[in-house]
Structure formats: structure tokens, C-alpha cells
Amino acid sequence: MLGNLKPQAPDKILALMGEFRADPRQGKIDLGVGVYKDATGHTPIMRAVHAAEQRMLETETTKTYAGLSGEPEFQKAMGELILGDGLKSETTATLATVGGTGALRQALELARMANPDLRVFVSDPTWPNHVSIMNFMGLPVQTYRYFDAETRGVDFEGMKADLAAAKKGDMVLLHGCCHNPTGANLTLDQWAEIASILEKTGALPLIDLAYQGFGDGLEEDAAGTRLIASRIPEVLIAASCSKNFGIYRERTGCLLALCADAATRELAQGAMAFLNRQTYSFPPFHGAKIVSTVLTTPELRADWMAELEAVRSGMLRLREQLAGELRDLSGSDRFGFVAEHRGMFSRLGATPEQVKRIKEEFGIYMVGDSRINIAGLNDNTIPILARAIIEVGV
Ligand code: LMR
């Protein structure tokens, strides 16, 4: 029977990781997968995460099953991290999930349970796995304009026009901050305009919040999400702890369902617990416990925030350095967008042929749409990348 299986195209981002590893060249540069790396190319365990794990080792006495929807402590800490004072516990359903991707999957499943004819609007472009998961689930996908290839900023007029076509019963997937793959983000005023469109259309927003703390700061990166939450009666939020806690392999995330009233919250919470049970039963505990320990222990929380801030400002510095280097080499400001973008990624706007040449001639790996991971750079590699970009004629 298994011989009937069709070969699956490998995920492009993950395939690139393998290609990079197999490249024997000294001095190769990995700007592919969205994983934070320090200047030495290492992905460190954050200090507060390490300390939390040490405490857990000393205090945990059992490995028996825990909550099907996650532990209340984790749910509350995440709700507060994302929504701040705007968290309304009595109308918010929360589910611990297998990473941010698990939260996205459960959000799509939940919305489809509520509306079997669900159609999802996604930005053009978006994280390729968004579309891949939706295709796999058989969900109709509609793109909305997002990235202006000329300015490398947001095509906001196009975005608004396309989102106005969404209807009640549709879902609109928005990136809460640090848009992946482009790095181009909405201003708070633009978020307010999107909220007005959602009010008018009645479409359900699903906010993918995978990089809170990597853009303009923990609070600032949640501002768009909080604005939507304050104006739209039903909102889904899929959050990842992979990046801001650096616990990628622990698979820690959560889905928040903001509901119009307590009775709907009850329904949503029940459906979400059911979805976990049907998919993988209990969600992973370890990473969620790390997160709740860090967030509820004042000294660990302060240290985590300080380290996250250092990571964020380090990436901003790299952005400015790269933009400066490109300004010098090109004699123009046309790469100024690199310093304007936020988060881990920037889409350079190179053609697939140019991306291929940069890989083959310079040993620099970026995703085929010319997305670079800023955190893959350091003082030594920035001039090499800048030279490659100019030499292939981007
Ligand atoms: C990325 O976009 O590189 C990350 O979100 C990692 C992944 O799973 O693709």
C-alpha cells in the first residue's frame, strides 16, 4: 500500500538547510532558515531558559500527563505577554500547541469546524508553509497584495483593496510583526485601517505572531495584534515561543481564541481541547513550563527581556551595517529598505538566477525568493554579502 504514495516536494527552506550542510566550502554563509545565531554562528540557549530548566530539574517530581489544553500558568502568562492589559480571561480560550505551526494548524482546523466552507486570505508573499498546510487541508486560498517589489515596502493600497473583498466566514491571515519573508511591516495607523476593513467585512483575523520581541520590542511588536483584539469581537492568534525564547526544538506555542462572550469561549475551549486530543493528545510540556517559569519569576523574566533586547538590537545593528555597506558600494540609497525592515528577514528583491549565482559563486545561502536571515550575518560576512549583491546586479 505504501508504494502508492506520491513523492512529496521537499520543503524549500528545510532543503536549503541540508544543501548548506553538505557544501564543503570554507567560509560558506547560511542566511536560510529563520533561526537566531550569534556572531559566531551559534544558536545559544538563553540564560533564563537554562536557569528555568535547572529549577525544573530540581523541583519536578513526575512526568505524568498534564493539561490537554496546556497548563493554566502557561496559558495566562502567554495571554498576558501577547495582549498585555487587554487580555480578557473570561472570553479568551487558550490552547498549548506543538510550536507556532501547531497553533496555526489548530486555528485552521477550528475555523473549518465552525465554517466548512472556510476560505483563507494570505499575504503575497507569505511563509511558504502557510500555503502548504492550507493546500494539504484542501482549504481554498486567496492571496492579497502585500509586498511592493519596487519600494520593498508594503503595498498598502493593494492590500486594502484585496482585503475589502473578504466576506463574513472568510479568514484573513496577518503577520503580527516581522513579516516573513519580506521584513516589511504595517504601521500602527495601517493596522487601524485593517481593523476597519475587518469590522466592515466581518472576516475572521488569524494573527501569526512568531517573532514578538524581534522587531521593535516586546510591547511594540504586539501593538498591531492588541489593536485588532480591542476592535474585532473574534480573533485567533497563533503564537510561537521558538524564536523569542530560543526553544525551537521544544516545540512550544499557543493558540488564543478571543471570543465575543463567555458562552462562545466555552465552546471554543472545548473544540480546541478536542483538536489537541484528536491530533496528538497532550501538547509538549517541557517548553511550556520553561516559558511559564521564565515569565512568572521576576529575576528570570528581567534577564530574558534583557537578553532578548540584546538579540533585537544586534539584528538592528546588522541591518544598519548592511544597508550602509550597500549604500557605499552602490553609490545609492536603493538598499535603504534593509535598515527599515524589521525582524529576522528581509526580501532583497533578487531574481532566482541572482540568488543561484550568489550561492554558487559566493557560497551564500538564502531562500530562493531572496529572503535573507539577518541573524546569519556578522561583521565579517556583511561586506562579503554586500559585494555579492552588487556583483550579481541586484
Ligand atoms: C523560517 O521561515 O525559516 C522559519 O519559520 C522556520 C521554518 O520552519 O520554516
Of 233, 175, 224, 226, the closest CA to residue 203 belongs to: 233
Does the domain at 11-44+314-391 match CATH 3.90.1150.10? Answer given as yes
pLDDT of residue 78: 98
Domain 65-296: CATH class, spelled out: alpha beta
- The CA 10 to ligand 1 mean position distance, Å, reads 14
Output the residue whose Cα is nearest ligand 1's atom 2: 34
Task: Find out whether the beta carbon of 126 lies less than 6 Å from any atom of ligand 1.
Answer: no
- ipTM computed for the complex: 0.94
User: Cβ(283)–Cβ(75) under 8 Å?
Assistant: no
Alpha carbons 373 and 217: distance in angstroms, whole number: 18
Please tell me the distance between residue 128's alpha carbon and the centre of ligand 1 in angstroms: 9
From residue 72, how far is each of 54, 69, 111, 288 by CA, in Å?
21, 9, 23, 11
Burial letters for 27-38: b for 16+ Cβ neighbours within 10 Å, e otherwise? eebbbbbbbbbe
Annotated binding residues for substrate, written as ranges, equal 34, 65, 127, 180, 371
Tell me how far apart the alpha carbons of residues 254 and 305 are, in angstroms, rounded to a whole number.
20
376 lines ligand 1 (CB under 6 A): no
CA atoms within 13 A on the CB side of 241: 33
DSSP letter string, 49-96:
HHHHHHHHHHH--------TT--HHHHHHHHHHHHGGG--GGGEEEEE
From ligand 1's centre to the CA of 302, what distance in Å? 27
CA nearest ligand 1 atom 5, residue: 34
178 in contact with ligand 1, CB cutoff 6 A: no
| Atom number, ligand 1, closest to the C-alpha of residue 32 | 3
Q: What are phi and psi of 231, to 5 degrees?
A: -115, -25
- For residue 362, the surrounding DSSP H or E stretch is helix 352-362
Ligand 1 binding pocket includes 13 (Cβ within 6 Å): yes
What pLDDT does 44 receive?
A: 97
Q: What share of the chain is helix, strand, coil (3-state, %, to 5)?
A: 50, 15, 35
Query: Going by C-beta distance under 8 Å and a sequence separation of 6 or more, which residues neighbour residue 16?
Result: 32, 33, 365, 367, 368
180 touches ligand 1 (CB under 6 Å): yes
Residue nearest to atom 4 of ligand 1 (CA): 34
CB 236 within 8 Å of CB 57: no
**Full pLDDT tens readout for the chain, 394 residues:** 999 999 999 999 999 999 999 999 999 999 999 999 999 999 999 999 999 999 999 999 999 999 999 999 999 999 999 999 999 999 999 999 999 999 999 999 999 999 999 999 999 999 999 999 999 999 999 999 999 999 999 999 999 999 999 999 999 999 999 999 999 999 999 999 999 999 999 999 999 999 999 999 999 999 999 999 999 999 999 999 999 999 999 999 999 999 999 999 999 999 999 999 999 999 999 999 999 999 999 999 999 999 999 999 999 999 999 999 999 999 999 999 999 999 999 999 999 999 999 999 999 999 999 999 999 999 999 999 999 999 999 9
Are residues 186 and 158 in contact, defined by beta-carbon separation less than 8 angstroms?
A: no
Query: Residues comprising the binding site?
Result: 34, 65, 127, 180, 371
CB distance 155 to 125 below 8 Å: no
CA 275 / ligand 1 centre spacing (Å): 24
User: Is the C-alpha dihedral spanning 210, 215, 219, 225 positive or negative?
Assistant: negative
Helix (H), strand (E) counts: the chain: 14, 11
| Strand ranges (E), the chain | 29-30, 92-98, 119-124, 141-145, 170-175, 204-209, 235-240, 252-258, 345-347, 364-365, 371-373
Q: Rounded CA gap, 252 and 196, in Å? A: 32
User: Domain locations in the chain?
Assistant: 11-44+314-391, 65-296
For residue 291, the one-letter residue type is: V
Asked if residue 18 lies in contact with residue 218, where contact means CB atoms within 8 angstroms, the answer is no
Write down the pLDDT at residue 19. Answer: 96
pTM score of the predicted model = 0.97
Whether residue 91 contacts residue 259, with contact meaning beta carbons closer than 8 Å, is answered with yes
Q: Whose CA is nearest to atom 1 of ligand 1?
A: 34
Name the nearest CA neighbour of 376 among 42, 19, 3, 148. Answer: 42
Judge contact between 46 and 307, C-beta under 8 A: yes
